Amino acid sequence: MEGCPFCRIASHEAPAAIVYEDGELMAFMDKNPVSEGHLLVAPKAHYETLMDMEPELVGKLFALVARLCKALWRALGPEGINVLQNNGPAAWQHIPHVHVHIIPRWAGDGIAVRWPARPKSLSELERTAARIRDALANL
């Protein structure tokens, strides 16, 4: 997609510190990392959200994410790793090209991902679960 920074990286029109690349996927260092080793993993083809991708490619994407997490663990020795994938502006997706953040974490690193918990009764949860099951059956 014209103007998409990740498409420009995928086509080698824009520079990036590439960690992995094959015919369908790429992984590169985030240019504004929140920690050492912060990676972005993305399909090379342009998809705005995870829901736009074929399930097989989603599987390949997350298989690569798992491999990269192991590599980061060995290379940098973090105490933890966050894996984040956002879809849509309300979910903090700033670049409309599917990507997964892999963020190595250390105790006291100052990184915070917080959201307010909103406890629900089991009956409320069951109603929502039924709606999701119905939608899933009709995909």
Catalytic residue set = 99
Task: Indicate left, alpha or beta for 18 from its phi (over 0: left) and psi (-120 to 50: alpha).
Answer: beta
Residue-wise DSSP of 17-57: -EEEE-SSEEEEE-SS-SSTT-EEEEESS--SSGGGS-HHH
